[in-house]
């Protein structure tokens, strides 16, 4: 699937000199376009940003919203499927539709299809 290759290719630009762990993410929009991102680390480790948040923030800041998003894929060169961290799940749970397809990939581009509902079923989502 083209989306999977885009997620893998996004790791080319990973800035991860501290962990040497490259993560790529791609969003497929309903208009056929793709938005890609990768993790960007910092010498002050806590300021590092995951690929998933880079990518969703790119999409939102280019004027797209959850209804424009068809699917997301996340890639890492791992044996098992990569799993987004808790911070990314919280952000994605607000910016993706509950049923948006999220493909977690491994190094062989095998995929596990999930939704944010699967990954964060009881996330914080209301101030009332």
Measure the CA–CA gap between 100 and 96, rounded to whole angstroms.
6
Which x/- pattern over 2-21 shows residues binding ligand THU (rule: CB under 6 A)? --------------x--x-x
Q: Which is nearer to ligand THU, 32 or 45 (CB)?
A: 45
The DSSP element (H or E) to which 29 belongs, if any, is strand 23-29
Per the annotation, the verdict on 52 as an active-site residue is yes
Which x/- pattern over 27-66 shows residues binding ligand THU (rule: CB under 6 A)? ------------x-x------x-xxx--------------
Catalytic residue among 28, 41, 52, 110: 52
Contact present, 103 and 26 (Cβ < 8 Å): no
Residues whose CB is less than 8 angstroms from the CB of residue 17 and which lie 6 or more positions away in sequence, other chains included: 41
């Amino acid at each position: 699937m083209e989306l999977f290759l885009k997620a893998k290719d996004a790791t080319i630009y990973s800035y991860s000199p501290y962990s040497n762990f490259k993560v790529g993410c791609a969003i497929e929009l309903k208009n056929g376009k793709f938005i890609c991102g990768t993790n960007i680390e910092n010498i002050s480790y806590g300021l590092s940003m995951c690929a998933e948040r880079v990518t969703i923030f790119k999409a939102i800041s280019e004027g797209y919203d959850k209804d424009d998003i068809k699917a997301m894929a996340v890639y890492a060169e791992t044996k098992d499927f990569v799993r987004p961290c808790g911070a990314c799940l919280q952000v994605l749970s607000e910016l993706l539709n509950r049923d948006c397809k999220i493909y977690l990939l491994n190094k062989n581009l095998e995929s596990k299809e999930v939704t944010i509902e699967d990954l964060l079923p009881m996330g914080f989502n209301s101030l009332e």
